[in-house]
Amino acid sequence: MMDKITHDIDELIWRVAEAGDTELTADFLRRYPNLATALSSRQAMVDSMRGARPVPPIATRFVPSTPARANRRPLWLGPLAAGLLVGLALASYQIVKYAQSAPKDPEKTLVVNPQSPTPTPRDGRVITPTPTPNSNYGPGTAPRPDETTDDDGLVVLHTNGTTLFGALNAIKGKGLRLEIMPGVEDMPITLTANRDDGTIALEPLQMLRAVKAAAGFELVDNGPEGLLILPAENTNVIGENERVRSRNVDGN
């Protein structure tokens, strides 16, 4: 029978059954006598529903706190949190590992413009370059900054008036990773020219070997960190200047 009841009539049966109004029920039955059974069972259902209202316990004094049962965290929260922490640790490890293995940017060389005016402090004093105690240079005889310039990836140095540190910086400027260790002192070096203009132009590594031969230092391969420049333990290889000095000491 219910299959024949339309949505509207079904809704009406609910409303009549819920209203519990005898006059309304009589009116409904006059209009739809064939739905008397449906209405009767619906009224019974509604009465049962209303009668099933749970009986609340007596209210105790309210204390604003979350009950222990409700406060208990779900069982899956612990493993999930642990998993997240492990994931975070692994991710951090990978990032650090990657950062350590990634090639570092080539060291930036300081580009000095020889045409730039001498920096003047605010008080107007003129600063004159002061030679370092171990340097053999007088004022104004520092290595020329243009000695590192070339167009073919070669290191170009002047054969005279070049210092060890100037030469090493020029080599570093071509991408060779060098680290000058403590104890290595700056000194003037003399190189043999291979070009007509009195300069020497070599690949960075070849130039390093030439400088090593001229200045006499230890060269240690430090893997990805580059090459270490160490002071010579045995002065088997002596710089040109030292040779002159040695001769002077010996009186030869």
**Can you give the binding site for other proteins, defined by CB under 8 A?**
10-12, 14-16, 18-19, 24, 27-28, 31, 41-42, 45-46, 48-57, 59, 61-62, 64-67, 69-70, 74-76
Regarding beta strands 155-158 and 199-202, do their DSSP bridges make them parallel or antiparallel, or are they unpaired?
A: antiparallel
Q: Which is nearer to other proteins, 53 or 108 (CB)?
A: 53
Residue carrying the six token digits 């960075």: 204
Alpha helices in 144-203 (DSSP H): 164-172
Q: Which is nearer to other proteins, 50 or 243 (CB)?
A: 50
Regarding beta strands 199-202 and 227-231, do their DSSP bridges make them parallel or antiparallel, or are they unpaired?
A: unpaired
Q: How far is the CB of 20 from other proteins (least distance, A)?
A: 9
Q: How far is the CB of 86 from other proteins (least distance, A)?
A: 22
Q: How far is the CB of 82 from other proteins (least distance, A)?
A: 17
Q: How far is the CB of 7 from other proteins (least distance, A)?
A: 8
Q: Which is nearer to other proteins, 41 or 190 (CB)?
A: 41
Residues in the chain: 252
Q: Which is nearer to other proteins, 52 or 110 (CB)?
A: 52
Q: Phi/psi of residue 145, each to 5°? A: -70, -20
Q: Which is nearer to other proteins, 59 or 102 (CB)?
A: 59
The number of CA neighbours under 13 Å toward the Cβ of 15 is 9
What's the CA gap between 105 and 207, in Å, rounded?
A: 22
**Contact in structure between 225 and 178 (CB atoms under 8 Å):** no
Q: How far is the CB of 29 from other proteins (least distance, A)?
A: 11
CA dihedral for 16, 17, 20, 23, sign (positive or negative)? positive
